[in-house]
Structure 1
Amino acid sequence: MLQRVAVVGAGAAGLCAARHILSRPSSFAPPVVFELTGNIGGTWCYDEHVGTYDNGRPVHSSMYRDLRTNLPKEVMMFPDFPFEPELSSFLSHRAVLQYLHRYCQSYDIGPHIRFNTAVERVRVVMTTGEKPRWEVTSSDPSGGVQTETFDSVFVCSGHYSDPHIPDIPGIRSFKGKVLHSHSYRHAEPYAGQAVVVLGAKASGLDISMELARAGAQVTLSHALPRLTFPLPAGIQQASSVVAVEEDGGVRFQDGSVASADVLMFCTGYNFKYPFLDAAELGLVIQDQVVSPLYRFMMPPAFPSLFFIGICKIICPFPNFNCQVQFALAVLDGSVTLPPQAQMEEEVLRDLQEKVERGVKQHHLLKMDQDQWEYCEVLARSAGFPPLPPVVRSLYEEVWRQRQVHPENYRRLNYRLISSTRWELINGSADG
């Protein structure tokens, strides 16, 4: 009997899952891909709308108009599906979306996607002596609701749609505009305004530079050590925001107070899966953590449910590619998992080790340098080709360039020469 798989979401992770399921017709029936919107691409679909659509559903994408990727296409691509060679290394979101459309067409994924269809509930069904199965209840735009049964569910719904806004005492006293980067689209409306940006990770830094170029006076507020690389004129750094005063002034950790027209939170996103019952699955889903997940993918009690792409600070598409192939190897029996108790123990041990190293709770799913060994282990266990070493080498080079030239590193272009070597083909980050 062919296994039936439901895929929640038709962004990059969902398309990757569908592609690999379709490539194994002797083990799996064609997937059913549930997509909430009318388009593929997930977070790569730019939409001028913010807030909610006319149908009351929240706008999913957090894409802003002028975003360019902070990883080169040579590192971003699915390992066996390159971007067009004539494109520059650092791409607009439009180019990434076109790439995903090309991927979707190349593997004939489209016919298996149900657009404008919301997954309302995913429920585990236990049958005596058999593996658990999954009831997926979905609703379409006409109001029709149906429940179908699957052998496995891949949750590919992303984690850039539910903004995380930290609690700041007195924020109701702020006189200006408060928003999260999820609702930021372009810089022009902020010209001539004083903007406090909270958070100096990738989006906080990028948006601050856009705002400064448009003529805003930006205060970049963060808890990191002071950034030592050159920031453009118009951006000053400050310590964390700790409160808003009664008169609307913004107070920082060091006791200084500033007035501002805008508070913009670049503070990340929450994990949110309204269609899952976490307790039923033996999971704890908090703002920034989902646990326990064996191999950062599956609840040990129900290892036929897979969360794809849940980790942060990774090369997303290569990571999805490894996770999906490992998950399918689990389902077709070519990877044998340890017993439930052993998986739980391993996850707990890993998390405890991170906490002992001083990793904060909300950073437990950040991979960074751990991503390479992680992908290597998945490839080795499931018998698929590992990521070529050139991916890591170029990723680390670009990370170094970003620290030195945060404004200009995207002017550089690269080319892969072999599985271990890349070259710089033109451009200078200095000029």
Structure 2
Amino acid sequence: MSGMDTAIVIGGGQAGLGTAFALRNQGFCPVVLEAGPEPVGSWPHYYDSLVVFTPARFFSLPGMPFPGAPGHFPARDEVVAYLRQYASRLDCEIRTGARVVSVVADRDGYAVTTADGTRLHGAVVVAASGCFGNPHRPGLPGLADWTGRVLHSCEYRTPEPFAGQRVVVVGSGTSAVQIAVELSGGARTSIASRRPIRFTRPRDFDPREYVWRTFEQIGRIPVGPLLPSAAVSFFRAVPDSSGAQRRAVEQGRPDRRPLFSGAEGRELIWPDGTREQVDTVVLCTGYLPALEYLRPLGALTPDGRPRQRHGLSTSHPGLAYVGVEGQHTLLSAALHGVGTDARHIARGLRAHIVRGEPALRRPAVRDGTAGRPRFSPPPGDPEPSVPRTRRSR
């Protein structure tokens, strides 16, 4: 790979892997740094029953279709297996157990330091570490001093430990509804939120209908004033392919309530003044970008969000982001949205190298072929797949 610009990709989950593929297409030599033991991101840590709400034919990273029937809705463990296979065939170096602690600018681009003291240099850096390591725990009324158990959805796995309990799930999104419905089979469960729960109609999610292609195209419109508000509302709704979740909520399994107005001792206080003893509160309140390693660089806002436009840093040339919710499109944080964002930032980073800012760079690849992904399709694959990887620890 002589003569190629090194690109450090921080994070080896869906965002980092898809980004490495796009960077290879632009003539970079990507080095992926993954904090965990294998490059599969946060997927193994999600709750056991998770099923994605996008059919397999639309749910993939660039260069490798998701296996199985096109209309199949993949489960968590299927996604983990897919990411393992994708990483094993990706033509770049992947270092596992490499947690990044700092990024600083230097004369050749950026210096990245990992927890064990290893220091790497890259012409460009892409922060693709996701949000799972930074669960959002909002300051809800009285909850700080409440004596019951509070956990975030990232800590939830199965409903069995909550059997017989009184549980309140906070949130109105997909994970809140899925977890609350699952818990209601063995626990007395309520789902509480400030916003009402909106379900999409089951027929909208029939993979045989053209609406899926429309859904995907809308999801790739850049976030901005031209994006219809109806599209934003549609993406915030809870997808319910069979209608079972809507029926469960309508039947009070779980029951729907406004967010509690306070908490005292072991009791939650509801807006009408009613007090109720509750065992567990599950926060399905999302995540915030996990980018503290960029704090010393000055690339973040005071609340920890990246200074960026459509994934390209507005404060540091040669720095980019992939996987931040809403950074470019409505699908930016989704696996099947990675390809669009990764291609966009890879082109931007290549343009940055060509301009030679802020320091003189090595020559870009000029022969028109070096640096492109080398495909090695397995027997029976109808189209090229992602190339093979080099793994190091």
TM-score relative to the length of structure 2: 0.70
In the alignment, structure 1 residue 163 sits paired with structure 2 residue 103: no
From the superposition, tell whether residues 13 and 4 of structure 1 become closer, same or farther in structure 2 (CA, over 3 Å).
same
| Deviation of the 1:253 alpha carbon | 3.4
8 Å CA contact retained: 1:195, 1:218? yes
| Deviation of the 1:87 alpha carbon | 7.1
In the alignment, structure 1 residue 241 sits paired with structure 2 residue 260: yes
- Code of the residue aligned with 1:67 in structure 2: it is L
8 Å CA contact retained: 2:56, 2:68? no
Equivalence for 1:358? none
| Deviation of the 1:31 alpha carbon | 1.6
Aligned-partner Cα distance in 1 for 2:354–2:309? 13
Equivalence for 2:112? 136
Q: Which structure is higher in RCO with an 8 Å CA cutoff and minimum separation 6?
A: 2
Any residues of structure 2 matched to 1:206-355 within 5 Å, and which?
206-213=178-185, 215-225=186-196, 229-230=246-247, 231=249, 233-245=252-264, 247-277=265-295, 280-281=298-299, 283-286=300-303, 290-295=305-310, 297-312=311-326, 314=331, 316-333=334-351
Any residues of structure 2 matched to 1:16-415 within 5 Å, and which?
16-24=18-26, 27-28=27-28, 30-44=29-43, 46=44, 61=45, 63-78=46-61, 80-86=63-69, 89-109=72-92, 112-125=93-106, 127=107, 133-140=109-116, 145-213=117-185, 215-225=186-196, 229-230=246-247, 231=249, 233-245=252-264, 247-277=265-295, 280-281=298-299, 283-286=300-303, 290-295=305-310, 297-312=311-326, 314=331, 316-333=334-351
Indicate the RMSD between aligned Cα atoms, in angstroms: 2.6
* CA displacement 1:353-381 (0-9 Å, x = unmatched): xxxxxxxxxxxxxxxxxxxxxxxxxxxxx
Equivalence for 2:225? none
* CA displacement 1:134-164 (0-9 Å, x = unmatched): 1111234xxxx12222110011101122121
8 Å CA contact retained: 1:216, 1:234? no
From the superposition, tell whether residues 258 and 332 of structure 1 become closer, same or farther in structure 2 (CA, over 3 Å).
same
Aligned-partner Cα distance in 1 for 2:96–2:62? 27
In the comparison of the two structures, how many residue pairs are matched? 303
SS in 1 for 2:312: coil
- Code of the residue aligned with 1:311 in structure 2: it is E
Equivalence for 1:351? none
Aligned-partner Cα distance in 1 for 2:272–2:338? 41
Percent identity of paired positions between Structure 1 and Structure 2:
26
| Deviation of the 1:179 alpha carbon | 0.9
* CA displacement 1:210-233 (0-9 Å, x = unmatched): 1012x1111110011365843154
SS in 2 for 1:103: helix
SS in 2 for 1:258: strand
SS in 1 for 2:139: coil
8 Å CA contact retained: 1:197, 1:220? yes
Structure 2 unmatched ranges of 5 or more: 200-245, 358-393
From the superposition, tell whether residues 170 and 155 of structure 1 become closer, same or farther in structure 2 (CA, over 3 Å).
same
TM-score relative to the length of structure 1: 0.65
Aligned-partner Cα distance in 2 for 1:227–1:327? 33
- Code of the residue aligned with 2:194 in structure 1: it is A
